[in-house]
Amino acid sequence: MRRKILILIKVLLLIGCRTPINPNGELILINQIGPINTGGDCLDVDINNDIVSVAANYNGYFIYDIHRNDNIIDSLSIRHHETEMQANVGDNRIDDIAISKNHNIVFSMDKLDKIYLHKIEGIPYLQNWLDDCYGDNWLSIAMDENEENIYMYFLMRHYSAEEELVPAHCEDQDGITIDFDQSDCIYFGFTWLEESIIPIIYGENSTSIVWKNFTDIDLEDQYTDSGSPSCEYSTNLNVRASSIYFDKDILAVAYGELGVLIYKQIQQDLCYLGDSENYIETDISNNSICSNYNVDIETSEINFQECCEKLECPSDWLLENGDCSQLYIDDFGIGLGGKFVNKGGVSPQWIDKFDTPGSVNDVYIAENTVFAALSASNGIYFSILDSEGNIVNGPFQFAEGYSINGIDHDKDLIALAAGNDGVLLFEWNNNTKVEFIGKYSTDYTNKVKVDNNTIFIATENGLEIIQIER
């Protein structure tokens, strides 16, 4: 009998471990609208003042105007609905949506094709998409908005390796290309290499972080191809990476079962020396060798990127001559052998990371705190960072017992998209303490956005809006 009781207790404890914590709560609803039919699975939502936009999967995207009466939302009206983003293409769909808060531009993402743009005000774009970038298999968008530009960061998916055709050529013992034909190359004892195809930059079935400096933000701009760099590669990751988020110089990556990776935004042009496992961040703006290196004829500016990225000085030359200045001056094709990152890019090597139980579905940053939305009923993990992106406290956990698809917050209110469990609401005061407010039951919830006391909910059956008492 005693053994049966012990077994029963163990079973109850096991069930209790998988039961969501705080299943009730005191949620006071003061307004509810919807679900508004979006004609397709509402996959994502974003807001900016009295504008809300949603990704409606195969029904394109919607932009709505919000109508209020004393801060209570009365209704929404459709400002724009787009389904034919690209003519004569049968698989138009929108998976993610993001609104530029400073410049009122809606970015809508078709993961298998393009990122489209729509101005809420001003002259419409004639070219309403971003230029191709490393294969156009987009996974996630993040933005750093400034007055004169937007630094845009993308997580890309690669199904095959990037390849480069290397023509037949002659190399010396240090791997430096020499302008000899095959017979002279062999005669002088150098190495003749036949034409070949080699993988470069990224590997097969992987992901990469890339970015661009987007400057076509004025009301009069009609094209979207200005800004430099137009598409700069940062780093290659494995296939586990699924989404990114940027806030205040920090870029976080949802890295599947391996947790979260944290990268730092670069505040000046830098050259990274060494290998990918041990990069050394180097400011070469006053480098004595680069100061003698290829000066641009048109601008009279030193080409620091070329100086950084070309192959290193041969060791035998360095031993014999003491330095490589003359090679740089003569444009012999010699450089520092590093990786160049323009201002606004991200470090090619992660700054810090933290592991998580389950897999990371989404990632979010607020007040130097990184949140990971987890699968398999693991809720949220979060860690606190210093100004350089290093973890100084955590990780901590809340919302155990729930699988989370997305997270957003405003002021002290956190909202979680919890799939079949609807929306979970918490109070957070920028510390390690998170208090449960309540749960709102609705259709399967994909994503949420919070604006003061208003929660916009992207569900499988459309857009729903609730306002709560705070």
Cα distance between residue 172 and residue 278, in whole Å: 28
CB count in 10 Å sphere of residue 290: 20
**Which residue in 458, 426, 463 sits closest to 445, CA to CA?**
458
**Secondary structure class of 378 (helix, strand, coil):** coil
H-helix or E-strand spanning residue 322: none
Cα distance between residue 215 and residue 151, in whole Å: 9
**pLDDT value of residue 200:** 57
Is the link from the previous residue into 20 a cis peptide, with omega within 30 of 0? no
pTM for the structure as a whole: 0.82
**pLDDT value of residue 11:** 37
Residues 6+ apart with CB under 8 A from 98: 46, 106, 107, 109, 141, 143
- Structural domains present in the chain: 9-165+198-273+344-468 (2.130.10.10), 166-197 (no CATH), 274-341 (no CATH)
**Which residue in 103, 35, 113 sits closest to 443, CA to CA?**
35
Cα distance between residue 366 and residue 357, in whole Å: 21
Furthest C-alpha separation in the chain = 93
457 touches 417 (CB < 8 A):
yes
**pLDDT value of residue 14:** 40
Amino acid letter for position 296: D
287 touches 273 (CB < 8 A):
no
156 touches 253 (CB < 8 A):
no
- pLDDT reading at 69 higher than 80: yes
Cα distance between residue 235 and residue 210, in whole Å: 7
225 touches 214 (CB < 8 A):
no
Cα distance between residue 74 and residue 69, in whole Å: 6
Which residues partner with 368 through β-bridges? none
373 touches 388 (CB < 8 A):
no
pLDDT tens per residue, range 280-290: 888 877 776 67
**pLDDT value of residue 339:** 84
Identify the band that residue 139 occupies on the pLDDT scale cut at 50, 70 and 90.
very high
Which contacts qualify for 235-238: CB closer than 8 Å, 24 or more apart? 235/208, 235/209, 235/263, 235/276, 235/346, 235/348, 235/349, 236/201, 236/202, 236/203, 236/206, 236/207, 236/208, 237/206, 237/207, 237/208, 237/209, 237/261, 238/206, 238/207
Beta strands in 283-417 (DSSP E): 339-341, 352-354, 360-366, 369-374, 380-385, 391-398, 406-410, 413-417
- pLDDT reading at 437 higher than 60: yes
The average pLDDT across 225-254 equals: 90
The average pLDDT across 283-308 equals: 69
Among 75-84, 133-142, 395-404, 431-440, whose mean pLDDT is lowest? Answer: 133-142
**pLDDT value of residue 169:** 84
- pLDDT reading at 44 higher than 80: yes
